[in-house]
Amino acid sequence: MAYSSGGLIEATDYNGFVSTTANNINKIWSTGSTDSGWGESALSTVSVGATVTATNWASMVNTLTTMGNQTNTTITSRTAPVTGNTIAILANVQADINSITNNRGNASLSGTTSSTWTGTNCKTAATSAASGGWTITFTNTVTFASANAARYFWNAGGLVRLDMNKSSTGTDKDPDWNTFVGTVGTLYLSGRVNGAAQTIAGTSYTGFTRSGGSGTPSPNLSTTGWYTLVAGAAATTMWQLNETVSPYTGDYIRITAAVDSTSTILTLVTTWVDAGYSGAGKTNAISGGTGTTSPYSAFGTSPTVLCRFVPPSSTYLTSAAWGTPAVAATTV
């Protein structure tokens, strides 16, 4: 019998909302699969023929309210039933579950940006002073405790961000690279849950999102996120910004992204390339400088690519679900 006013309320009605309909609470709230699931404890179902108690309904109502708050989804206002209340239909439950399912990648709040890493994310020594070009390769990895932990992180609104800096001086080419690096802005990788942009703490993240900066990158895979990347596949070139100031138009900054075959490690490789033209009597070398150290408080002066993560907020969800990813850096 359909769940409706005047009808018999059955365990199958409650179980449908919680677990058995195509769009249900546990699919988003609990383990789920791929881009559905936040890793919270599943709501219990009720055996067919058994009584659905006020406690069962209250747990469902309270969880649905929390899910609406997490995703900033407007849902029907409800009061959780208590033992002794008159039995009544709860209106629009499935419609609200459907809305939350569609908005499941959104997050009303965001966590605090991480500040620690292992390894070296900067080049404190100068590049070669020859008239030829040079390359600096910054490799950053973000490692999750498990594939599920990674899913919960991205599904609940987690982000990985890249910031770049260089302010060292002393060579002919330093001012040019200082200015060029300053045009990059901040880059964010999001999950791209449900194949769409996610609104996280009021900001729209499309997959690989640039905040600030100037210039036109090409390629610019702005709609490629964690779930777009293929686990175990070769690295994808996400973004490249070329210098536009002559005669240095062969210089560029490129970012690639890859996910390992276990879906637990994100690898971001940022390459700074100088093509090698500086004019007669000048050098293409750039200075090193002071390093940027963990925990982060401020940039040093040396060429740096800083990778950090922004965890989901734990206001409505449990941070133990996604844990604390480990960030590691190497620079050559």
Reported as type and span, the H/E element at residue 256 is: strand 252-259
CA 253 to chain centre: 22
Reported as type and span, the H/E element at residue 328 is: strand 326-331
Contact assessment for residue 283 and residue 171, using Cβ atoms and an 8 Å cutoff: yes
Measure the CA–CA gap between 151 and 145, rounded to whole angstroms: 11
Q: Where are the domains of the chain?
A: 11-102, 118-331
Looking at residue 296, its pLDDT comes to 98
Looking at residue 129, its pLDDT comes to 66
Q: Going by C-beta distance under 8 Å and a sequence separation of 6 or more, which residues neighbour residue 214?
A: 183, 185
Q: Which pTM was predicted?
A: 0.94
For residue 84, how many C-alpha atoms fall within 13 Å in the half-sphere facing its CB?
A: 0
- The residue type at 203: T
Measure the CA–CA gap between 311 and 106, rounded to whole angstroms: 13
Looking at residue 4, its pLDDT comes to 58
Mean pLDDT split into 10-residue runs, the chain, 332 residues:
60 95 98 98 94 94 98 95 79 97 98 98 88 91 98 98 98 95 98 98 98 98 98 98 92 98 98 83 87 98 98 98 98 98
Measure the CA–CA gap between 61 and 218, rounded to whole angstroms: 48
